[in-house]
Amino acid sequence: MESFFLKLSVMLVPGLMAITCHEVSHGYVADRLGDSTARHLGRLTLNPLKHLDIIGTLMVFLIGIGWAKPVPVNFGNLRNPKRDMIWVAAAGPITNFTLAFLSALALRGGVVLAGMVPAGSPIEALSFPILLMLAFSVYINLLLAIFNLIPVPPLDGGRVAVGLLPPRPALILARFEPYGMILIVVLVFFTNIFSLVLLPALNIGIDILAGPKTEWVFDLLLSKVIGR
């Protein structure tokens, strides 16, 4: 029970922000490019309750990655559907990379400030959960961005690939979309794609953004919160 509340306190806010901003960015870019579907449905809001998917939220605590309800986009309403689909799809990973970058900057500054606080003080006790939240924000945003770049529709990377490929291969790839989630589940749970591809890319991203001085925070995050 104590472990659950530790996870809840550290992961809830950064996790909800990561998946909410990811979805809102899709709808916002689509709205700017001609499709107002998300705006008319009230989905261009940072209120997480509008985007909450119960199973996707639980997955954040169980496996460290989750999802929200997809923001609806009618690609036929876009001014240039094939080109604009690339920007709508790319908006999600770009947003997560941006949030990871900003969180890493805040984490770097927080580690420096925490080192100036007297040991055993109440401020020091308060600083640890804040640093863990910032570290998890880096972790979850990078993981969402990297995962969504897998070139399999309906993931963002798949839709970017459909927009970039010539018509015939783009059509072939697009036809996989109804079965894409099945393929993704198989890849994640029945292959070594996480340990062989996603995890190394995630670790490289963390090293680049957060730097060696925050390594102890991520060690604490992985051992005490995520349990990896």
Task: Write out the catalytic residue numbers.
Answer: 23
With beta carbons less than 8 A apart as the criterion, state whether 123 and 117 touch.
yes
- φ and ψ of 175, to 5 deg: -70, -15
With beta carbons less than 8 A apart as the criterion, state whether 147 and 65 touch.
yes
154-184: burial string, b at 16+ Cβ within 10 Å, e else: bbbbbbbbbbebeeeebeebbeeeeebeeeb
C-alpha to C-alpha distance for 181 and 191, rounded to whole angstroms: 15
Q: Which of helix, strand or coil describes residue 192?
A: coil
